[in-house]
Amino acid sequence: MKLSTSRLAAFSSALLLEGALAATSGNFDALTINVAGLPAILNDNGVPGDKAANAAAMGAKFSEYGIDVVQLQEDFNYHAHIYRTNTHPHRTATSGGVPFGSGLNTVSYLPWVDFRRIKWNKCSDASQSDCLTPKGFTFMRVAISSDSSTAAYVDFYNLHADAGVEPGDLTARNDNVKQVVDYIATWSKGNAVVVAGDFNSRYTRTGDTGIRDLLASENPSGPRLKDAWVELLYNNVIPQSPSSCGNPAANDLCEIVDKVFYRASPLLNLQATDVRYDTLRFLQADGNILTDHNPVLVNYTWSSGASLRQSSLFGGPHGTWFSDVPVLAGTNKPKTATITFRGGSRLDSVGLTLTDGTIFAHGGTGGSVVSLALGATEYWTQAELCSGQRNGQIRNFYIRAVTSSGRSLTAGSATSSCQTFTAPSGWQIVGFVGQDGSEVDQLAFVYAPR
């Protein structure tokens, strides 16, 4: 997804139409980089030159190289200098410098529909001052392709784990990684994932078990997480004795503490095609390093799922994420038998029953129930959603389902902000992805072939 002339034209059109980059296959790249943004008085990181000037140089290079997604760690007191020279249109707001912020930020050419900061449950000051700031990880659901009919999302996690090698550090760091594993299991069910950042971990270090646990974590709906470096450079076999890297790294085979893990999903085939330490593109004019970490760049190719796909998301980024994908992935030729909604002044819940008896229901218990039973050769093929504000938050107020026979079912109250979702030719709506609470905050539709 480099910024060629055609890519720029597509990107500009996407901004104008508020629908980004509709496609069923493509590629993108992502960089993870610790920018050494601690105040110079606390830590000069062994990097020559002025930290503010180095930060500005990095911000400019992120744009110059057209990197689709850049995940930053230790982006503390020189954050404004990075953003001053950077031109990525989508950028997280800083959570503050030391000691207030986590130092985690993202700049991107691709939009996201949700962003959250999560603090570590455990930290250790055994050998580093890790408890000085609210370190942790961030979550965002990035739209790599999106229109009303077919969309592709990847959940990006950006983390900075506890540092040091004392027993307390190892305990805290392994707990950090477990916290991310648990979060992925709940919030990223059925979704593709990229986990990147400063893990402060090495496979060769005794006691650093967290990153191996990350590789071993279960994923009921698809493939497990893979380390892009291990996969592409070591043929999926964790190296027994890789050398430690200098800065710049002499080659890509040595091991650093900055790592990138990823997985595909039933909705999205995702494959890392190249991984490299990108330090030589991030040097000062005199050849000195800009940061004390080697940046890691990974290129990916992707394509929409063959048996399950989804629409774009509609509504507001509130509530708790849910997904019917894990169940649908284990269902042979799913078909909707009954559509069921609850609604009144707003849309309270959405649901359906498959022909095998599986029931999906999301939202609350308010409103009145309406339902529509489909015929044996009738399919749910189209839906309309309308949104509005309730208590200062955007949520879905209205839904209309239309079948292949032209019959319809509605619930809630229509507004002036609406969007229509049509299943691709030969496909049908069989489930949902979104966020809910007592009502339906955000919603997308899952498609399967007829």
What is the DSSP track for 218-251? Answer: --TTSPPPEEHHHHHHHTT---SSPPBP-SS-S-
What tokens were used for 121? 């449950």
Could you tell me the pLDDT band of residue 147, with boundaries at 50, 70 and 90? confident
pLDDT at residue 45, as a whole number:
82
Share above pLDDT 90 across residues of the chain, in percent, rounded to a whole number? 88
Report yes or no on 385 lying in a domain.
yes
Report yes or no on 376 lying in a domain.
yes
User: What's the CA dihedral at 152, 215, 70, 267 to 10 degrees?
Assistant: 0
Report yes or no on 4 lying in a domain.
no
The whole-number average pLDDT for the span 251-263 is: 97
The whole-number average pLDDT for the span 116-135 is: 94
**Residue 170, pLDDT above cutoff 60:** yes
Q: Are 227 and 258 members of one domain?
A: yes
CA distance 41 to 20: 43
Q: Are 66 and 144 members of one domain?
A: yes
CA distance 333 to 327: 12
Contact 243, 271 (CB under 8 A): no
| Angstrom distances, CA of residue 372 to CA of 35, 156, 192, 375, 423 | 55, 37, 32, 10, 18
Residues 268-279: tens digit of each pLDDT? 999 999 999 999
| One-letter amino acid for residue 114 of the chain | D
Residues 291-317: tens digit of each pLDDT? 999 999 999 999 999 999 999 999 999
Contact 107, 55 (CB under 8 A): no
Q: Are 174 and 224 members of one domain?
A: yes
The whole-number average pLDDT for the span 88-103 is: 95
Q: Are 233 and 288 members of one domain?
A: yes
Which residue, 276, 304, 332, sits at the end of a domain? 304
Least confident span in 28-32, 204-208, 414-418: 204-208
| Angstrom distances, CA of residue 74 to CA of 30, 136, 297 | 17, 11, 18
What tokens were used for 4? 């060629």
Q: Are 295 and 267 members of one domain?
A: yes
**Residue 2, pLDDT above cutoff 90:** no
Which residue, 287, 304, 321, sits at the end of a domain? 304
**Residue 157, pLDDT above cutoff 90:** yes
Nearest Cα to Cα of residue 430 among 334, 342, 340:
334
Q: Could you tell me the residue range of the domain that residue 325 belongs to? A: 309-449
Report yes or no on 2 lying in a domain.
no
Q: In sequence order, which residues have a C-beta less than 8 Å from that of residue 29 and are 6 or more positions away?
A: 1, 2, 67, 68, 69, 297, 298, 299, 300
Could you tell me the pLDDT band of residue 22, with boundaries at 50, 70 and 90? low
Q: Are 263 and 217 members of one domain?
A: yes
Tally of domains in the chain: 2
This model's pTM is above 0.85: yes
**Residue 17, pLDDT above cutoff 90:** no
CA distance 124 to 209: 17
Could you tell me the pLDDT band of residue 148, with boundaries at 50, 70 and 90? confident
**Residue 7, pLDDT above cutoff 60:** no
Least confident span in 2-11, 197-206, 245-254: 2-11
Report yes or no on 19 lying in a domain.
no
pLDDT at residue 301, as a whole number:
98
Nearest Cα to Cα of residue 160 among 118, 127, 126:
118
The whole-number average pLDDT for the span 337-348 is: 97
Residues 202-232: tens digit of each pLDDT? 999 989 999 999 999 999 888 999 999 999 9
| One-letter amino acid for residue 187 of the chain | W
pLDDT averaged over the chain? 93
Share above pLDDT 70 across residues of the chain, in percent, rounded to a whole number? 95
The whole-number average pLDDT for the span 121-134 is: 93
pLDDT at residue 299, as a whole number:
98
Nearest Cα to Cα of residue 317 among 431, 437, 159, 185:
437
Q: Indicate which CATH number applies to the domain containing 156.
A: 3.60.10.10
| Angstrom distances, CA of residue 57 to CA of 222, 276, 287 | 40, 20, 13
The whole-number average pLDDT for the span 311-334 is: 96
CA 152, 31, 88: angle at the middle one, nearest 5?
A: 75
Q: Are 271 and 375 members of one domain?
A: no
Find the DSSP H helices in 305-346: 325-329
Q: Indicate which CATH number applies to the domain containing 340.
A: 2.100.10.30
Report yes or no on 18 lying in a domain.
no
Q: Are 262 and 332 members of one domain?
A: no
Find the DSSP H helices in 129-234: 167-187, 210-216, 228-234
Residues paired with 387 in a beta bridge: 396, 417
Report yes or no on 12 lying in a domain.
no
Q: Are 223 and 350 members of one domain?
A: no
CA distance 20 to 312: 10
Report yes or no on 3 lying in a domain.
no
What tokens were used for 372? 């529509």
What is the number of other CB atoms lying within 10 angstroms of the CB of residue 423?
25
pLDDT at residue 6, as a whole number:
31
Q: Are 287 and 387 members of one domain?
A: no
Q: Are 376 and 260 members of one domain?
A: no
**Residue 3, pLDDT above cutoff 70:** no
Q: Are 276 and 159 members of one domain?
A: yes
Could you tell me the pLDDT band of residue 62, with boundaries at 50, 70 and 90? very high
Which residue, 241, 274, 304, sits at the end of a domain? 304
What DSSP character marks residue 121?
Answer: S
pLDDT at residue 108, as a whole number:
98
